[in-house]
């Protein structure tokens, strides 16, 4: 099973991002992520045996003993850069609590054999992937003409363990476990 940990977006944030994607999609032939699949990944686990899921849920459960926190989705950008883009993303503004949750998740899962993250945590929402160079001037013009690149905020009240499966229409994400945040 292919697994990851992450946070869901609030419906109004998803709606705002959906409106953005609908506005930009005709301007560039890139691989847009279905809006219903948008989430904030805190830890990519990768392949994991189905028989060891309970081991992961036991490792993650103590991490929920923290207060909920606010996340704002604001700004747009490119990885690695706008001149040779591979990823088009929306920015994530959050207090240190988000990075701490990602760090704690990495540490807890490292204790049961999940390899640690090689790169520093860089919270973002992947809106599209760019596999080969495509002309982007029209899309860049539409982005420059946006009234705002703020897409809303929400309280992160839980994180989830997800399974990712590739289907004919793209990836399908299934929640395997929920971890509601609750201050001890």
CATH number at residue 158: 3.90.1140.10
Model confidence at 184, pLDDT cuts 50, 70, 90, reads low
- Return the pLDDT at 68: 96
Rg (CA), the chain: 17
For residue 149, what are the domain limits? 2-180
pLDDT at 83 over 90: no
Q: Which residues are the active-site residues? A: 39, 124
Instruction: Give Cα 60 distance to the centre of its chain.
Output: 18
- Count of structural domains, the chain: 1
């Amino acid at each position: 099973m292919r697994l990851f940990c992450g946070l869901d977006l609030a419906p109004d944030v998803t709606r705002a991002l959906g409106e953005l994607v609908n506005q930009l999609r005709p301007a560039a032939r890139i691989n847009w992520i279905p809006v219903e699949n948008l989430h904030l990944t805190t830890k990519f686990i990768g392949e994991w045996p189905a028989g060891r899921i309970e081991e992961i849920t036991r490792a993650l459960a103590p991490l929920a003993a923290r207060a909920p926190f606010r996340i704002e989705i604001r700004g747009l950008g490119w990885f690695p850069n706008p001149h040779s883009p591979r990823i088009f993303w929306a920015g994530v503004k959050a207090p240190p609590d988000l990075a701490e949750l990602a760090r704690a998740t990495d540490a807890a899962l490292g204790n049961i054999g999940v390899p640690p993250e090689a790169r520093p945590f860089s919270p973002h929402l992947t809106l599209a992937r760019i596999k080969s160079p495509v002309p982007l001037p029209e899309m860049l013009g539409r982005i420059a003409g946006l009234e705002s690149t703020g897409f809303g905020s929400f309280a992160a009240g839980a994180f989830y363990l997800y399974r990712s499966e590739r289907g004919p229409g793209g990836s399908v994400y299934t929640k395997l476990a929920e971890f509601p945040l609750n201050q001890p």
